Homo-oligomer: A and B are copies of this chain.
Amino acid sequence: MPATITTASGATWEEVAADRQRHRDISLASFKPSPLNLPTGSIPVDTSAIPRSVLAAQDVEITEKNVEDLVPMLASGQWSAKTVVQAFMRRAALAQQLANCVTELLPEQALKRAAELDDHLAATGKPIGPLHGVPISVKEHIMMKGLDSNAGFVGWVGRVAEEDAHILQILWAAGAVFYVRTTQPQTLMHLETSNNLYGATVNPYNTTLTAGGSSGGEGALVGLRGSVLGIGTDIGGSIRSPAANNGVFGFKPTALRLPVGGWALTMAGADHILPTIGPLCTSLEGVLLFVRTILHASPWLKEPSLIPIPWKDEVKPRAGNGAKLRVGVIWDDGVVRPHPPVAAALSQVVEKLRGSDEIEVVDWQCYKHDLAWEIIAKLYFCDGGAEEKAAVNASGEPFRPLSKWILEENPHVREHTIPTLWKAHQERDAYRASYAALWNEQGVDVILCPVGPGVAPKLDTSRYWGYTAQWNLLNYPAIVFPTGAKVGRDTPGVRVGAEDLGTHEYPADYKPLSEADAYNYGLWKDNGVQGYDGAPVSLQLVGRMYEDEKLLRALDVLLDAAGLAKTC
């Protein structure tokens, strides 16, 4: 393979981007037999039905299994690791053409790894670990040894990882096969996925919408089932936004439970708000398996910033025996009212929960979510965004619109001194203490809420982070799940799933709650339900800090009670 072209060695940013795309295309083409190339211009706005219509039956069968189905088939040798990863590579190559979500395919190393696993099984009769042969897709900035790690910055192209990220080492030991790397936005700080290396990753259900971000490559890829299990990262919604936008499960654990060592990113050493890592997955069971596998490896022994709380299998979702699961509902956060499709889906789900003997529903009283955003936004870029800007400027590449928005149009960004930083820490800690008191008072087990102020937004319009960043500030675990509903489907007209949106439409004389709400309201007025046609509608369940196991089990109970699927 030719040497990587970089701005450091004199190339323009456009030349670097063209070379990265070439590299990606070569990686896709190197997989034999070469993946099907869809004729240009043949792709509809809703691409979601395409893979099933063009892939071979066995490939469809394999890629539409979930992790928990694949594991026993791989462990027993019913399907070889090679067969499985080949199917996923074909579907991932297709997904790239539909949603622009892949930075490179890894056929050589994936097939070598699969052969190793198949040989091991043949020789010993035993799987190598709990994820024997499971293909896992990985967001690009989670470093892989020997591969470029540019984190979405043109100027960082050419930085080659010296070793695998810690989490990949653990998953490798458990039997995983890494076969594809996925896109992320410039700065990693968008709730979309748009950079100057690859352009924008789009939503497979409606390509005029964003796949979300920053783990948008994972979102689109898992949404198209070019992956059943992918790894994303989240400091403000970056796992949950793409999971929601693509109708898959996405879990942001409590920070410092899963290993975060080995990422390419700016602002190393900034621990004011902690980033998290977690799965995007086609099933709740797959999420559980992922987390359990990693915690069973005691990652805190190698990475001492982690909290040594082992996976707890025995945790019950409810406080007492026979007690109901007490769910607090956030209809809106007092800052931005969610678009009608989200309100309708939330209403449908809550109605079903109210009919369940297992669940008690109460309204959650939000506490100053606008202040929460101010506090977290003040702590994201404590150097005033200097490192982010330097990383962009290193190559001369332009700022993408949402980079400009979060760094320059965001009034809360400031260059801190030590005294202002300490003050901001105190505000953060005081807010957390207030919210803890609120939780003690309201006594819920979990909170059910929107994932964002609407379904997948139009490109470059994802500006309101409040519904996800709130839980990063508080460091509460949160999981996104699909409701199964899609905007405008099932019956024609302004509907979500089977429900007419009429009762959830904004009143004619609607007065926005805030400037952010006015913007969000404008998006709905401008685009209407037709503008979001086909977008999956997802919701978010939030637990208390470190109650990750309880949260995941509570979701299981909730999905049963609401009659929703645990797979997508």
Residues of B within 8 A of A419 (CB): 383, 386-387
**Bound CA span A415–B415, Å:** 15
CB of A394 within 8 Å of the partner chain: no
Among A178-186, A264-272, A319-327, the stretch in contact with B: A264-272
A301 in contact with B421 (CB, 8 Å): no
Contact with B along A419-430 (1 / 0, CB 8 A): 101111110010
- Contacts A421-B269, A423-B269 given; indicate if A305 touches B382 (C-beta within 8 A): no
Min CB distance, A431 to chain B, in Å? Answer: 10
| Partner of A269 from B300, B303, B309, B426 at Cβ < 8 Å | B426
Tell whether, in the assembled complex, residue A422 and residue B307 are in contact, meaning their CB atoms are under 8 Å apart: no
> Is A304 part of the contact surface with B, judged by Cβ < 8 Å?
yes
Query: At the interface, yes or no: A437 with Cβ under 8 Å from chain B?
Result: yes
How many angstroms between the C-alpha atoms of A270 and B423 in the bound complex? 9
Chain B nearest CB, measured from A389 CB (Å): 13
**A369 interface residue (CB < 8 Å to B):** no
Q: Is the CB of A429 within 8 A of B269?
A: yes
Residue of B nearest to A437 (CB): B302
Contact check, B268 vs A422: say whether CB atoms are below 8 A apart.
Answer: yes
Check if B546 sits within 8 Å of A436, measured CB to CB: no
Q: In this complex, what residue of B is CB-closest to A415?
A: B418
Once the chains bind, are B436 and A304 in contact (CB under 8 Å)? yes
Q: Which of A303, A309, A422 has the most CB of B within 10 A?
A: A422
Q: Is the CB of B422 within 8 A of A269?
A: yes
- Distance from A169 Cβ to chain B, minimum over Cβ atoms (Å): 14
A70-96 CB mask vs B (1 if < 8 Å, else 0) is 000000000000000000000000000
Flag whether A416 is at the interface (Cβ < 8 A). yes
Cβ–Cβ contact A425 & B304, under 8 A: no
Evaluate contact between A270 and B308: CB separation under 8 angstroms.
Answer: no
Query: What sequence of 0s and 1s flags, for each residue 148-179 of chain A, a beta carbon within 8 Å of any chain B beta carbon?
Result: 00000000000000000000000000000000
Does A463 interact with chain B (Cβ within 8 Å)? no
Residue of B with least CB distance to A382: B418
Which residues of the partner chain B approach A440 to less than 8 Å between Cβ atoms? Answer: 301-302
Contacting residues, chain B, for A305 (C-beta < 8 A): 429, 432
In the complex, A247 Cα to B412 Cα: how many Å?
52
Bound-complex Cα distance A425 to B418 (A): 14
Is B303 within 8 A of A545, CB to CB?
no
Contact B546 A307 (CB under 8 A): yes
A436 contacts which of B301, B382, B422, B437 (Cβ < 8 Å)?
B301
Residues of B close to A300: CB separation below 8 A: 545-546
Check A425–B308 contact: CB distance below 8 A: no
At the interface, yes or no: A433 with Cβ under 8 Å from chain B? yes
A331 within 8 A of B: no
Contact B269 A302 (CB under 8 A): no
Per the bound structure, the CA–CA distance linking A436 and B261 in Å amounts to 14
Interface check A435, CB cutoff 8 A: yes
Which residues of chain A in 321-351 are interfacial with respect to chain B, using CB atoms and an 8 Å cutoff? none
Separation in Å of the A530 CB from the closest CB of chain B?
A: 44
Please give, as numbers and ranges, the residues of chain B lying within 8 Å of A437 by CB-CB distance. 302
Chain A residues 89 to 126 lying within 8 A of chain B, measured CB to CB, are none
Most B Cβ at <10 Å: residue of A271, A416, A474: A271
Contacts of A425 in B (CB 8 A): 269-271
Alpha-carbon gap, A55 to B343, bound state (A): 75
CA A432 – CA B261 in complex, angstroms? Answer: 13
Whether B303 contacts A436 by the Cβ 8 Å rule is yes
Give A431's nearest chain B residue, CB to CB. B304
Query: Which residues in chain A, 291-317, are within 8 Å of chain B measured between CB atoms?
Result: 300-305, 307-309
Nearest-Cβ distance from residue A83 to partner chain B, whole angstroms: 38
A383 touches B304 (CB 8 A): no
Nearest Cβ on chain B to A420's Cβ, whole angstroms: 10
Q: Are A433 and B303 in contact (CB under 8 A)?
A: yes
Question: In the assembled complex, which residues on chain B have CB atoms less than 8 Å from the CB atom of A424?
Answer: 269
Q: Mark A239-273, 1 if CB is under 8 A from B, else 0.
A: 00000000000000000000001000001111100
**Contact partners of A545 in chain B: CB under 8 A:** 300, 304, 308
A-B contact pairs, 9 of them (CB 8 A): A268-B422, A269-B421, A300-B545, A303-B433, A303-B436, A305-B429, A307-B309, A307-B546, A383-B418
Question: Apart from A270-B425, A302-B437, what 8 extra A-B contacts exist at CB < 8 Å?
Answer: A261-B433, A269-B421, A269-B423, A300-B546, A304-B436, A307-B307, A308-B545, A308-B546
Q: Which 10 pairs of residues, A with B, have the shortest CB-CB distance?
A: A269-B422, A269-B425, A269-B426, A304-B436, A383-B418, A304-B432, A382-B418, A308-B546, A270-B422, A416-B418
